[in-house]
Amino acid sequence: MNKIRGDKLVTILDGKSLRDKLLSDLKLKIDALNEKPELAVILAGEDAASKIYVNNKKKTAEKLGIKSSVYTYDENVSEQAILDKISELNNDNRVNAILVQLPLPKHLDKSKILDGISPDKDVDCFTTYNYGKLATGLEPYVYPCTPKGVLLLLDEYGIDLDGKHVVVVGRSNLVGKPMALMALKRNATVTVCHSHTKDLKSIIKTADVLISAVGEVLIEEDMVRRNCIVVDVGISRGSDGKIRGDVNFESVSKVSSYISPVPGGVGPMTIASLMLNTYELYVVQKKRSL
């Protein structure tokens, strides 16, 4: 979708339509199976956003013919109870993919819990095994959902990262770090910025592709180079109650060549990636059992 903004055209990176396209293709593949792939989700605690995300994941899975089972635990759940459930799911041949929704309640050891997931059921690429594969440039079973969604979106618009300067703002294990590794794998020159970065503005100004994953409004028109490609992974709620990204869309879209909106950009792509990953793990497990 092209729009005239300022004195030029900008292309909106439309995550909703790409999600719909990818998921309708995936549905055809799932319809052709004589069984349903299964995604198991563990949700511990009372985080309101997590409850909404998990509900969306379940609804999307079910529309596609993926079975989804959600195991909910209260805030005070013991680590052992979750590890026992993960072990049970690891050993259950009907379950193809396991997702532990983050954040976990504070008293739980996140690494220990995530590493309880069998790597071939690790739908988020969060285990040390799969993350290590990713970091060393090898193939994890599947790639992390949000960065995968970003690359699928860029691919759809023919945006090649080879040789480009990609600036990633944010260094979280969930998005910033794997995003940087995956852009490197695509032969981009990558800079990762974070809360201790000095002169963030001048670094962002050199980006061919800017990927922001911070969770607060940060990126304004004067910060980005003309014709920069801008991907907004941020999500937060403004004082007006509306969902917003890290990028001031109104102003930045006047100077960028491509820009992803919030909502409707990377968010739908994350959920599409989760569904694709569930199916990919199903295929790996089926091939192995032949």
> 101, 122, 232, 246: which is the annotated catalytic residue?
101
Task: Decide if residue 271 touches ligand GUN (CB under 6 A).
Answer: no
* Contact mark string toward ligand GUN, 164..183, x via CB under 6 A: ----------x---------
CA distance 253 to 260: 9
CA distance 212 to 144: 16
Task: Decide if residue 273 touches ligand GUN (CB under 6 A).
Answer: no
Is the CB of residue 213 less than 8 Å from the CB of residue 183? no
SS3 annotation, 90-131: HCCCCCCEEEECCCCCCCCCHHHHHCCCCHHHECCCCCHHHH
Q: Reduced to 3 states, what is the DSSP secondary structure of residue 241?
A: coil
Task: Decide if residue 101 touches ligand GUN (CB under 6 A).
Answer: yes
- Residues in CB range of 80: below 8 A, 6 or more apart: none
Task: Decide if residue 146 touches ligand GUN (CB under 6 A).
Answer: yes
Task: Decide if residue 99 touches ligand GUN (CB under 6 A).
Answer: yes
101 is catalytic: yes
57 is catalytic: yes
Q: Which residue from 64, 100, 219, 229 is in contact with ligand GUN, where contact means CB under 6 A?
A: 100
16 is catalytic: no
Closest to 272 in 3D by CA, of 33, 18, 65: 18
Task: Decide if residue 269 touches ligand GUN (CB under 6 A).
Answer: no
Task: Decide if residue 12 touches ligand GUN (CB under 6 A).
Answer: no
Residues that bind ligand GUN in the complex, under the rule CB under 6 A: 99-102, 124, 145-146, 174, 270
Cite the active site residues. 57, 101, 124
